[in-house]
Structure 1
Amino acid sequence: MTLADLAAGIAILVGLAGIVVPVLPGSILILIALLAWAAEDGTATAWTVAAVATLFLVIGSVVKYLLPGRQLKQTVPNSTLLIGAIFAIVGFFVVPVVGALVGFPVGVYIAERVRVGAADAWPSTKAALKAVGWSILIEFVAGVLAATTFVIGVGLT
């Protein structure tokens, strides 16, 4: 194992954490680590591994927007999601890291309460949280598949 292998592996782990706790752009960090590793290694095997892992990340990104996104658009309008995102950003700065996780549902609930009333606000909020959860899970699985491909690639190079 080389220093480049270790550095890429650490960057990929940080990217996986960034998917679950949205502080860092997880998939992008994983992709950059894979491409830097392949460029450093320079072998055809490394580039093949990077291409396969990139394919997993691209498929994951497409699926995460298609499946949960479609369900989300049927339940909650974009304006509600925008308010949830604003609350997440404010929450992130008020209570670092976990504030975003609290701010998003609070923002969605408040926006939905204004839009549809108190009785229907919580079901809409739950639907939004479920869609976001599925989106995170899909991206995380794609990241794990890319990371697994990387580990196999390190073994092959």
Structure 2
Amino acid sequence: MGAWQLLLVGLVMLLGLVGVLVPGVPGRWLVWAAMLWWSLHEQSGLAWVLLVAATAVLLVDQAVVWLLPPRRLRGVGITRRMAAFAGAGAVVGFFVLPVVGAIPGFIGGIYGTERHRLGGHGPALASTRAVMRAAGTSVLVELFACLLVAGAWLGAVVWG
């Protein structure tokens, strides 16, 4: 697979990761489609194993998200800025503390945004709890699954 195709696969995965944070964009399916595209062009044992694993992870993710309470974005104060900082925190946390760092990074991004907006620790903590109850858990689960798939793909490209 050429370098430009790897770049395109990576960009589609990145778009999928951003899509998890944007309502209405099929983030997990963009990540899966990018993995499918790469696997069909790579055609190696590792590529097929990663495609099967990505499919399983994303199907389990979808089932878990369906079991969680529905997202209630209105009335909680979730903004695009908050979603951007939460997503960026999850990505940074994913690479700083591989895999498990996405969770504290996501929550830290929400807390940091609220701390800046509200000015104090107490109100920011209360707001972070409200956001996580309203929508954060389902977004976090979906983002974590997509980060696992994207991280596995990146590892296969770099070290495979």
What is the TM-score when the length of structure 1 is the normalising length? 0.58
Point out the structure with max Rg over C-alpha.
Answer: 1
Letter in 2 for 1:140: L
Corresponding position of 1:41: 42
Considering fraction of residues, name the structure with more helix.
1
- 2:61 maps to 60
- For structure 2, the residue ranges without an aligned partner over 5 or more in a row are 84-128
Deviation (angstroms), 1:155: 2.5
Equivalence for 2:133: 130
| Contact 1:53-1:150 at 8 Å conserved across structures | no
CA offsets 1:35-73 (integer angstroms, 9 cap, x no match):
01100111121111122122221111111111x23xx5x
**Residue identity in the other structure for 1:137:** L
Of the three residues 145, 151, 155, the one matched with 2:154 is 151
Would the aligned equivalents of 1:60 and 1:139 in 2 still touch at CA under 8 Å? Answer: yes
1:130-154 Cα shifts (integer Å, max 9, x gaps): 2432111110000101111111121
1:10 alignment partner in structure 2: 11
Unaligned runs of 5+ in 1: 86-96, 102-125
Give the conservation status (yes or no) of the 8 Å contact 1:52–1:149.
no
Alpha-carbon distance in structure 2 between the residues aligned to 1:156 and 1:41: 14
Deviation at 1:156, TM superposition (A): 4.2
- Tell me the TM-score normalised to structure 2 length: 0.57
- SS across alignment from 1:28: helix
SS at match of 1:24: coil
In structure 1, C-alpha distance between the alignment counterparts of 2:37 and 2:17, rounded to whole Å? 17
CA contact (8 A) 1:57 1:143 kept: yes
2:139 partner amino acid? I
Residue pairs, 1:99-138, within 5 angstroms: 130-138=133-141
SS of 1:17's equivalent in the other structure is helix
Bigger relative CO (Cα 8 Å, ≥ 6 apart): 1
RMSD: 2.9
1-side partners of 2:44 and 2:13: how far apart? 20
What is the aligned-residue identity percentage?
Answer: 29
Aligned length: 108
Q: Deviations 1:62-92 (Å, cap 9, x if unpaired)?
A: 11111x23xx5xxx9xxxx7xx89xxxxxxx
